[in-house]
Amino acid sequence: MCGIAGILGSNWKRDHLDAMVRSQRHRGPDGEGIYVDPKSLAGLGHNRLSIIDLSEAGSQPMRSHSGRYVAVLNGEIYNYLELRIELEGEFRFRSRSDTEVLIAAYEKWGVACLHRLIGMFSFVVWDENEKTAFAARDRFGVKPFYYHTDAKGNFLFASEIKGLHAAGVERQANESAWATYLSSGFYDHSTETFWKDIYSLQGGHFLKWRAGHVQVSKWYDLAEAVGDNVDARDEDKVGLEYFDLMKESVNLRFRSDVPVGINLSGGLDSSTLLGLVHEVQGADSNVKAFTFATGAAEYDETPWVREMLARTKHELVVCTLRPEEVPSLAADIYVHQDEPFGGIPTLAYAKVFEGARKRGVIVLLDGNGMDEQWAGYDYYQAAANGHQAPTVQGVTNSPVRPECLSPEFRQLARLPDCPRPFNDSVRNLQYRDARFTKIPRAMRFNDRISMRSSTELREPFLDHRLFELAMRQPVGRKISNGITKRMLRDIVHDLLPERVSQSPKRALQTPQREWLRGPLRKWTSDMVECALSGPFASWLSRPNVESDLDSFLKNGSDNSFYVWQWISLGLASLPANIATRMSAGSK
């Protein structure tokens, strides 16, 4: 996992490319590289986090053996060894890296190479002969890709929005994106970002550039891959296929030349990951395990985690977040995210990557993706029973406060029209969560907080083969008699203690509500005041915000999402020098 950046066009400055690479140094502290086309029609930059082939032979930008293509890759092609064997008859490899295999795959198969890749990736290949570029992003958008076309027609791209700002792209708010987020809670659901004229290449899409012309096309869609029919095969046969795929997926993601660890909570998905680690590595596996804690007993997952690890050889590292760390850490995380993020749970998760890096663990695996595959959230049950499904797990009241926005600003919101490609409501919700809501934003949060600590996060359960197979299963195999993930529980039953395999879904939470009303009360009020008096103040109705905030601080609520939204606006309102100074104090 690394950082990529570049400028395509005929009128650009090398200083801008250098600044883009510098701004993303946290993504790859092990090396930097820059390529400039002989006719200066392209510049590619790379920040290297060395994971596979630690030698100089694995450095990027990397040129193809033929000399025609130059590529930069962010992410991992997990099945690169299998692809290499397939390609060795036609290509002579000089390194052991997956990047070189990717270039050869593109040279042989072109766009069709994407369907052969198992991995998380965003990459750009420059054709030095044709003076064209090809860029692509993985199926679920695990690795980021942002772009902008400037007034001179130059095309700029980077792994993070700050990379584009470093090249002089103006930091001007995209009011429609902010209005949509503040009024409905939707974000990371489209090509638009929170900043004007900066766009995100969507997961499962590729981009072609030629002489200032940009063409974006879709190469993968989950609904199309799954198809209309449900899987009518015998459940035992499906279960064996799924279990074998899980083992293969975990095994592939242990391919690394640096230490690998695992992130654990006390839930079913993390327990499944741990069980699979033992399946592929054996009972003597001793990779380090990491979890977070907040000191709040009602949210403490560590007893479950310790029970899971009691008969193993894994060292457990508990990474604790304290309320007094939140103000400076939130400012730091915002600087890295460039956009609103998921609140105190994101801060707590960031502590895990800090702890891993300090202990020399550079790659971490976690259990993201199972709830979306197997309909694990409570609102899937509501949909299965024919009821209107809420959009947030464990919340009955609205998580947003559109009445706290000025009427003019609220009208700028553009709610996404999520397609409903299936003939059952549960699969449509699964598709929405995978394509437009939960997974896209979780991948953005997780990419930035892992990269902030120069660590790589891998998601074994986001292997597209697993996702497609689970999505094809009928609803009764996902939800049965009030039990969610029913078939998954059966598949992994022998891997886990009974108490874990049959435990109900617990939202992985932190005491955000309690902290914002308690030890962080003053900070909460101060940050909301920053929003009310800052450059975006006209978006808000001060009387309504103050009234709802006062009610929250005095009486509480079943959620604090809307308060965190205002805090996010406050963080965005901080002058850049203050935010940077605060972030420096958290390290």
**224-388+443-501 CATH fold:** Rossmann fold (3.40.50)
Level-2 CATH architecture, domain 3-220: 4-Layer Sandwich (3.60)
**What are the start-end ranges of the H helices in 359-437?**
370-374, 378-384, 407-410, 425-435
319 included as an active-site residue:
no
Sheet holding 69-77, edge to edge: 62-63, 69-77, 119-127, 132-137, 205-210, 213-218
Q: Which of 2, 113, 319, 404 is catalytic?
A: 2
Instruction: Say how far apart CA 115 and CA 460 lie, in whole Å.
Output: 18
With tokens 């890709």, the residue in question is 145
- What pLDDT is recorded for position 579? 42
- What pLDDT is recorded for position 498? 65
CA distances from 224 to 243, 430, 432, 437, 466 (A): 23, 14, 14, 18, 15
The set of long-range contacts for 430-433, using a CB threshold of 8 Å and a minimum separation of 24, is 430/372, 430/373, 430/375, 430/380, 430/471, 431/222, 431/223, 431/471, 433/371, 433/372, 433/377
Radius of gyration of the chain (CA): 23
**DSSP 3-state of 75:** strand
Instruction: Say how far apart CA 144 and CA 443 lie, in whole Å.
Output: 9
User: What tens-digit pLDDT sequence spans the chain (587 residues)?
Assistant: 699 999 999 989 999 999 999 999 999 999 999 999 999 999 999 999 999 999 999 999 999 999 999 999 999 999 999 999 999 999 999 999 999 999 999 999 999 999 999 999 999 999 999 999 999 999 999 999 999 999 999 999 999 999 999 999 999 999 999 999 999 999 999 999 999 999 999 999 999 999 989 999 999 999 999 998 999 999 999 999 999 999 999 999 999 999 999 999 988 999 999 999 999 999 999 999 999 999 998 888 898 899 889 889 999 999 999 999 999 999 999 999 999 999 999 999 999 999 999 999 999 999 999 999 999 998 999 888 887 765 555 566 789 999 999 999 999 999 888 999 999 999 999 999 999 999 999 999 999 999 999 999 999 999 999 999 999 999 999 999 989 999 999 999 888 876 665 555 555 579 999 999 999 999 999 999 999 999 999 999 999 999 999 999 999 898 999 999 999 999 999 875 444 444 444 44
Instruction: Output the DSSP codes for 547-560.
Output: HHHHHHHHH--S--
CA distances from 384 to 274, 388, 417, 491 (A): 30, 10, 21, 22
CA angle 358, 364, 367 (to 5 degrees): 140
Prediction pTM value: 0.95
Cβ–Cβ under 8 Å, residues 277 and 250: yes
Q: Which two tokens stand for residue 184?
A: 């409905």
- What pLDDT is recorded for position 145? 98
- The type of residue at 489 is R
Evaluated on CA atoms 468, 469, 474, 476, the torsion sign reads: negative
Instruction: Say how far apart CA 31 and CA 99 lie, in whole Å.
Output: 15
With tokens 């860029």, the residue in question is 135
User: How many angstroms separate the most distant Cα atoms in the chain?
Assistant: 71
